[in-house]
Structure 1
Amino acid sequence: MYQLDQHQAPIYQGLVNLRKKRIVPFDVPGHKRGRGNPELVELLGEKCVGIDVNSMKPLDNLGHPVSIIREAEELAAEAFGAAHAFLMIGGTTSSVQSMILATCKAGDKIILPRNVHKSAINALVLCGAIPIYIEMSVNPQIGIALGLENDRVAQAIKEHPDAKAVLINNPTYYGICSDLKGLTKMAHAAGMKVLVDEAHGAHLHFTDQLPLSAMDAGADMAAVSMHKSGGSLTQSSILLLGSQMNAEYVRQIINLTQSTSASYLLMSSLDVSRRNLALRGKESFEKVIRMSEYARQEINTVGGYYAYSKELVDGVSVYDFDVTKLSIYTQGIGLTGIEVYDLLRDEYDIQIEFGDIGNILAYISIGDRIQDIERLVGALADIKRLYSRDGKDLITGEYIQPEVVLSPQEAFYAQSKIIPLSESAGAISGEVVMCYPPGIPILAPGERVTQEIIDFVQFAKDKGCSLQGTEDPEVNNLKVILEH
């Protein structure tokens, strides 16, 4: 048995060894190390295309790993404080869906907040589980949903003692954290699994200056977006398991939907990034904290904007705050977040993570520099000077919790018809409507459409939000359920 050593990156080393052997490829992919597609080599480079290879004995197989991939998984588990880890090449969407599919079957109940990512709603469509949504508090000033409140979760557990799991998204896109340890203890006492969508928390485990990570809180499963704050390639993720989960059963669930032709570019990026975090994560993320806090201070000095932080913590609806998240409320200068987002990109060549109705998020990570922060602050000050207005026409309140009439699966597969969105008030939606990013559904299948929701969608469209999820690419029409 090999000794785990966080200085090692077994998949990366396996690819280096393969490159040295100059093997003649009579397998897929058909570009044959780039020789059949010179434009691809020009775009990505010979080194990259040369290691875009298929599974073979020396390189192991993600669906049933026995050598270097299994070692990479064990190193990832140790680095994140988990009992087991899976390298995921279908993004954290695949990780979130695997968590739900591994714990819930058709008709099972799952307790969760309504402001989940669409991947969780889609998992309910796939498996037929029934969502038990927790009512969320909203910050009236910045209009975002806050954390899961312990009392409300306790009440849901009491009313639905047969629920199989509690899903928590922590931290949220905006940095809001719930009481993971308290919620985990409560759910476990009721015999329920705890699943954490930790897409925005790959960094939490590596310093005690940040909120508690899912594994440190004792959760059963956590979906971690390594490509967000962890530094790996886009679409790569890690699924972490606690000691009470059957890892090989979870692998079977993953293999139901994950590709059998796993990308070694993605897997090696996970391997190298895990090594980087294990060896240098503490110093890297503490630098990110300092940069974010500096940016927050400078932006709040500009005036009009509100870069929020730990002052939101009240121990109830906001248990903690991830200070690496540079979330900024923009309506104080009379502009929506999406308008500021567009101005930053189009006028200042600055690409931030997202803008919604009231906020923007600038993602600060291990790759940022202080001069980049200065440029962002300067651009925001310039936007205030040139474009600010009274903003009396703006809608406030980013979060609406719709009424659930049917389960997502029942609604998704029900008989339906397409009608104008403007005429859909009172109908039951048969599809998702969301702004992306952040990818939290405004409407999910099975939910009642209200005039408030219609007005919100129209306002988001008018302001330039990227609306997705409907069959109609323009989101002028909505698929609704034919009433029984």
Structure 2
Amino acid sequence: MNYTQQNTPIHEALLKHKKNRVVPFDVPGHKGGRGNPELTEFLGMDCLKVDVNSMKPLDNLIHPVSVIKAAEELAAEAFHADAAFFMVNGTTSAVQAMIMSTCKAGDKIIMPRNVHRSSINALVVCGAIPVYVNPGVNHELGIPLGMSVNDIKTTMDANPDAKAILVNNPTYYGVCSNLKEIVTLAHENGMYVLVDEAHGAHFYFGEELPISAMDAGADMAAVSMHKTGGSLTQSSFLVCKNSIDPGYVRQIINLTQTTSGSYLLLTSLDLARKHMVLHGKEIVAKTMYLAEYARTEINKLGGYYAYSSEIINGDTVYDFDRTKLSIHTSNIGLAGVEVYDLLRDEYDIQIEFGDIGNILAMVTAGDRQFEIERLISALSEIKRLYGKEKVGMLNHEYIDPVVELTPQAAFYSPKKSVALEDGIGHIAGEFVMCYPPGIPILAPGERISKDIIDYIKYAKDKGSVLTGPKDMKVEFINVVEE
């Protein structure tokens, strides 16, 4: 069958399967919902009837030959790639598959230190060695930025044997590096370009947006369709082009991805791809309008700073994603995480995250004008009721790490547990991060400094959810025995 972007091969096959009223003597055991009435009442019979197992008419995610293969080909076309893979273990698994497809144990990979934990987790698993490029820092906002092209050149010259470079496009805050120039540099030096595009799925479908990974000529990109593309949570695409061997990439994916791919997730990706191809320009335009309106009104409140393309500097902020509503809060005397908690607890507004000095409200075309107004008025009230002098506020979101061991060596080395403050001077044997956004404050193999401990204590005090350590209260930390 000749499919076009109007088609949804997996979705269409499921509709046919449902119509055929097939008698299920296979898994899942809920048997179309009949075996679990409470779950069926919660999710609906229509949903449970298509929560099915792989079978010949529905293809198989680990070895697609029919409808999943067709859906992947349509996705590759939509993302201007040579090949695309449906990922159901989250964008985390897509990021890890990129790294593990291009780097083996002992290989070097260049990356900014403000990567998501999934990137460093991949290094723990595969044994590749990180070569960090410290991102630029905006000291007024306290946020890490993109990588400077000159810093990348210097790093590549010092590490000509590196196999790949990983780039965030964009960062959580909306900041983009000069991706096209990075691709040119990397390819001149025989290195692959891997792009964590967790927050840039919409770049492929809208106008007036930063360049996408595939359009910039990158080799691989992890595209989080569930974040800004409309699919279900945990569903993602991995796309690739150039000299990447798709057969080998699938083998790598199959090392860790489930053999029981959820057809609910797969169908959501299929439908989201179609929806964005057909309506992406209008979707992005509406998102942009809502974000720009909110930004303008929030900046009129005083104290808050909702930043945008004016922070572009041609290097560490080469471009900015204006659909991101990133807001600096420190000038009203409140940490971002405090504003985050107040919005949720007092105003029933759930935003994406709050860190030490900023909040991020995810805006999409699924939002409505009155909800934007509600956010603006809540922020106004928070400033009036809870705002205070900016005294004793920590102002940095990024601390340059001192890397002593590879993440893998540190993670698997003999360790001992010490009180948090006693960790100063030791090498970390585990992660510590605020989640979200999931960017490690401390990664295995890094020397623990007083600055890092002060940051962790401050984040705890302000109400951040800290994850990573074995001790979930983060009173103790595992350090490498030296």
Both structures adopt the same fold (TM-score exceeding 0.5): yes
Shift of 1:26: 0.5
Alignment partner, residue 139 of structure 1: 138
Q: Given the alignment of the two structures, is residue 292 of structure 1 paired with residue 291 of structure 2, yes or no?
A: yes
Shift of 1:61: 0.2
Quick check: 1:54–1:261 contact (8 Å CA) kept in 2? yes
Offset, 1:207: 2.2
Residues 148-163 of structure 1 aligned to structure 2 (within 5 Å): 148-163=147-162
AA aligned to 1:136 is: P
Instruction: Provide the residue aligned with 1:104 in structure 2.
Output: 103
Give the letter for the 1:352 counterpart. Answer: I
* Residues 419 and 479, structure 1, Cα contact 8 Å, conserved in 2: yes
Q: Match for 1:290: what amino acid?
A: Y
Matched, 1:267 2:266: yes
**Distance in 1, Cα, partners of 2:240 & 2:134:** 28
Q: Kindly provide the amino acid, as one letter, of the partner of residue 416 in structure 1.
A: K
Deviation, structure 1 residue 242: 1.1
SS at match of 1:203: helix
Partner of 2:476: 477
- The equivalent of 2:436 in structure 1 is 437
SS in 1 for 2:378: helix
- CA shift, 1:290, in A, is 1.0
The equivalent of 1:245 in structure 2 is: 244
Asked if residue 336 in structure 1 is aligned to residue 332 in structure 2, the reply is no
For 1:296-311, list aligned pairs within 5 A: 296-311=295-310
| C-alpha displacement of 1:136 | 1.8
1:417 equivalent in structure 2: 416
Distance 1:237 1:398 in 2: 28
How many Å separate the matches in 2 of 1:243 and 1:218?
8
| Contact 1:226/1:237, CA 8 A, preserved across alignment | yes
How far residue 399 of structure 1 moved from its aligned partner, in angstroms, is 0.9
Is the partner of 1:194 in helix, strand or coil? strand
- Indicate yes or no: 2:398 matched with 1:403: no
Partner of 2:73: 74
Could you say which residue in structure 1 is the equivalent of 2:174?
175
Paired residue for 2:389?
A: 390
Unmatched tracts of structure 2, length 5 or more:
none
CA contact (8 A) 1:229 1:366 kept: no
Q: Which residue of 1 aligns with 2:88?
A: 89
Distance 1:41 1:62 in 2: 25
Q: Tell me how far apart the structure 1 counterparts of residues 205 and 23 of structure 2 sit (CA, whole Å).
A: 42
1:46 and 2:45 equivalent? yes
Q: How high is the sequence identity, in percent, across the aligned residues? A: 61
What residue is the counterpart of 2:276 in the other structure? 277
1:157 match: secondary structure: helix
Q: Alignment partner of 2:382: what SS?
A: helix
Structure 1 residue 56: Cα displacement: 0.1
Which position in structure 2 is the counterpart of 1:381? 380
Q: Which runs of 5+ in 1 are unaligned?
A: none
Match of 1:18 in 2: 17
Q: Which residue of 1 aligns with 2:129?
A: 130
Aligned to 1:208: 207
Per-residue CA deviations over 1:261-290 (Å, capped at 9, x if unaligned) read: 000000000000000001000111011111
Q: Please tell me the residue identity of whatever aligns with 1:84.
A: A
Q: 1:20: how far off?
A: 0.7
Does residue 361 (structure 1) correspond to residue 360 (structure 2)? The answer is: yes
Report the Cα offset of residue 243 of structure 1.
2.8
- Post-superposition shift, 1:370? 1.4
Letter of the structure 1 residue corresponding to residue 33 of structure 2: G
How many Å separate the matches in 1 of 2:338 and 2:136?
26
Q: Deviations over 1:67-86 (max 9, x none)?
A: 00001001111111111100
The Cα of 1:398 is off from its aligned counterpart by 1.0
Q: Tell me, what secondary structure is at the counterpart of 1:87?
A: strand
Runs of 4+ in structure 1 deviating by more than 4 angstroms, as ranges, are none
The AA in structure 2 aligned to 1:126 is: V
Paired AA for residue 468 in structure 1: T
Q: TM-score, normalised by structure 2?
A: 0.99
1:130-175 per-position Cα deviation (integer Å, ceiling 9, x unaligned):
0000022210111000111100001111000000000001100000
1:367-401 per-position Cα deviation (integer Å, ceiling 9, x unaligned): 11111111100110111111100020211111112
- How far did 1:3 drift? 2.9
**In structure 1, C-alpha distance between the alignment counterparts of 2:366 and 2:249, rounded to whole Å:** 33
AA in 2 matched with 1:269: S
Residue 477 of structure 2: SS of its match in structure 1?
strand
Secondary structure of 2:239's match? strand
Backbone CA RMSD of aligned residues: 0.7
Code of the residue aligned with 2:280 in structure 1: it is G
> Per-residue CA shift, 1:309-345, capped at 9, x if unaligned?
0110010111000000000000111000000000000
Match of 1:221 in 2: 220
Native 8 Å contact 1:7 1:275 kept in 2: yes
Contact 1:148/1:317 (<8 A) preserved: yes
Contact 1:200–1:225, Cα closer than 8 Å, also in 2 = yes
What do the CA deviations read for 1:437-457 (whole angstroms, capped 9, x no partner)?
Answer: 000000000000001100100
Kindly provide the CA deviation profile for residues 209-265 of structure 1, in whole angstroms up to 9, marking residues without a partner as x: 100000000000000000000010000000010132100110000000000000000
CA distance in 2, matches of 1:4, 1:312: 43
Q: For residues 448-467 of structure 1, what are the structure 2 equivalents within 5 Å?
A: 448-467=447-466
- SS across alignment from 1:233: coil
Quick one: distance in 2 between partners of 1:87 and 1:369? Answer: 30
Work out the CA distance in 1 between the residues paired with 2:312 and 2:229.
25
The Cα shift of 1:42 comes to 1.1
For residues 399 and 325 of structure 2, the distance between their equivalents in structure 1, rounded to whole angstroms, comes to: 23
Assess if the C-alpha contact under 8 Å between 2:84 and 2:239 holds in 1.
Answer: yes
The answer to whether the Cα contact below 8 Å between 1:402 and 1:448 also exists between their aligned partners in 2 is yes
Tell me the TM-score normalised to structure 1 length. 0.99
Residue 95 of structure 1 aligns with an amino acid whose one-letter code is A
Query: 2-side partners of 1:7 and 1:368: how far apart?
Result: 25
Range moving further from structure 2, 62-71 or 135-144? 135-144
